[in-house]
Amino acid sequence: MKDKLYEDYAVLDAQVKLLQGQRDELRVEIVKDIVDSGETAVKTAVGNFTISKLKTWTYTPVVAELNDRLKARKATEESTGEASFEEKPSLRFNQIKL
Report, as an integer, the average pLDDT of 81-87.
97
Enumerate the domain spans of the chain.
Answer: 1-53, 54-84
Query: Angle at Cα 85 formed by Cα 82 and Cα 86, nearest 5°?
Result: 155
Name the residue with higher pLDDT: 66 or 93. 66
Strand partners, 42: 49
Per-residue pLDDT, 1: 74
Residue 98 has pLDDT above 70, yes or no: no
Q: What is the DSSP string of 70-88?
A: HHHHHHHHHHHT-S-----
2-58, pLDDT tens digit by residue? 899 999 999 999 999 999 999 999 999 999 999 999 999 999 999 999 999 999 999
